[in-house]
Amino acid sequence: MERNVERMLKRVAVVFISIGTAIMVIMILQTPKTCIPPEAPSKPHTHFPRSTCDSSPRQHLPLQKKNARIWSSSAWKSRLTSFSTYFLRFRDLGFLNNHTKALCLSAGAGHAPMALSQIGLADVTAVELVDSIPLVKRADPHNLPFFDGVFDFAFTAHLAEALFPWRFVEEMERMVRRGGFCVVAVDECGGDDVRDIARLFLNSKLVDVANVTLEGSKRTSIIFKVQDSQP
């Protein structure tokens, strides 16, 4: 009886030793995948580092391919849809049409200008401190490189982040012709906050305030009609 148990244990041990040896042999024979020297990729733009050992320098992605990749992401698409829905309301209210010359300030990566183009506007300009070609040009919103009154509609969702809000607004109003519209989307607010923002717009009249959802957060959208060009 005891000898049977002993024999069985020995067999089990032999089996485990065999498995262990086999695994060790496989590990020795195999070149670790993590440290294969990088070969020149046949298609540079499809080559990505596969591991930390892959030290070949990242290939410069052609702009068109880079944009195509960004614009096809679901994050981009959902923000774009959000802006389109938001701007369609202005079209329904009569503040926008296909011939409106629009300007987006602090336009980030360009969701807003793309949305405006998508709903049919043929002439959309967007600026930001960092450019995102072809959607967004580089310009300081406090000091815009455009003549007075060349736009019908100016929009920003980033007034709150402006270094000098009064200067930002002054430039925004300067860009828009008399009778045109300045639109700001700010974090949801009411009463006094809206009045404080309205006070920045020296040459415009408040025409509409609405609470909206933009890019997944609650914002208050304020529309001003420009009364007079700057002296």
Ligand X SMILES: *[C@@H]1O[C@H](CO)[C@@H](O)[C@H](O)[C@H]1NC(C)=O
- Exactly one of 66, 166, 210, 230 binds ligand X (CB under 6 A); that residue is 210
Site for ligand X in 187-206 (CB under 6 A): 188, 190-191
Binding of ligand X by 217 (CB under 6 A): no
* Number of other residues whose CB lies within 10 A of the CB of residue 196: 11
Least Å from the CB of residue 93 to ligand X: 14
Q: Give residue for tokens 């202005």.
A: 90
Spatial separation of the C-alpha atoms in residues 221 and 78, rounded to whole Å: 19
Give me the DSSP letters along 173-191: HHHEEEEEEEEEEEES--H
Cα–Cα dist 161/166, whole Å: 12
Residue from the set 51, 78, 211, 230 that interacts with ligand X by CB under 6 A? 211
73 scored as a contact of ligand X (CB under 6 A): no
Please work out the total of residues on this chain that contact ligand X, with binding judged by CB under 6 A.
9
Contact between 186 and 209 (Cβ < 8 Å)? no
Cβ atoms of residues 173 and 204 within 8 Å: yes
Pick the binder of ligand X from 114, 126, 220, 222 (CB under 6 A).
220
Tell me the window of 24-32, 67-75, 101-109, 207-215 that interacts with ligand X (CB under 6 A): 207-215
Closest chain position to ligand X (CB): 190
Q: Give the binding site for ligand X (CB under 6 A).
A: 98, 120, 188, 190-191, 209-211, 220
